[in-house]
Amino acid sequence: MQNVLTLYDRLAGWLSSRLPEGIVLLVTRAALAGIFWRSGRTKVEEGTALSINDTTYFLFEHEYSGLPLPVDLAVPLATYAEHLFPILLVFGFFTRFAALSLLLMTLVIQVFVYPDAWWATHILWVALAAILVSRGGGLFSLDALLASRRAQ
């Protein structure tokens, strides 16, 4: 039994080291970024970078009407946020800020748009964002690169 516990402790120690944690944080960043990037892409005209389509305005006026912001402000804010913050996450640049922004966006969606989606969807988004807010971008991020340069 002692050998099993020793093996477990060694494995747990390695899994919590920088390399495995960096890989996990990279995957977490990509997962959260992918969710919001895909959503952001549905808001723009196909074949354009950021030209917001009329359907997005319609949805915000009618389906997302509970938002406490005017449609003309909410649409570009949501669209641009769903493009900017995923890019920051993929590169691991200002990771905590980007993840916190998407966490707040998720909470707004939960409260004002889809209040019944907590257990089905939003709890997973919150968990991914919370991990990144608390741990940062990890070893494979621009944040880590910049931190090592500042330390020198």
In the predicted model, is pLDDT for residue 62 greater than 90? Answer: yes
Structure confidence by residue, pLDDT tens digits, 80-118: 999 999 999 999 999 999 999 999 999 999 999 999 999
Decide if 2 is inside a domain. Answer: no
Q: How much is the mean pLDDT over the chain?
A: 96
Structure confidence by residue, pLDDT tens digits, 50-60: 999 999 999 99
The number of folded domains in the chain is 1
pLDDT score recorded for residue 3:
85
Considering the entire predicted model, what is its pTM?
0.93
Decide if 6 is inside a domain. Answer: no
Q: Residue 39's CB: how many other CB atoms inside 10 A?
A: 17
For residues 72-76, give the mean pLDDT: 97
Tokens of 150: 């500042």
| Residues spanned by the domain of 31 | 19-151
pLDDT score recorded for residue 5:
86
Decide if 145 is inside a domain. Answer: yes
Decide if 61 is inside a domain. Answer: yes
Decide if 4 is inside a domain. Answer: no
Decide if 117 is inside a domain. Answer: yes
Decide if 5 is inside a domain. Answer: no
Decide if 82 is inside a domain. Answer: yes
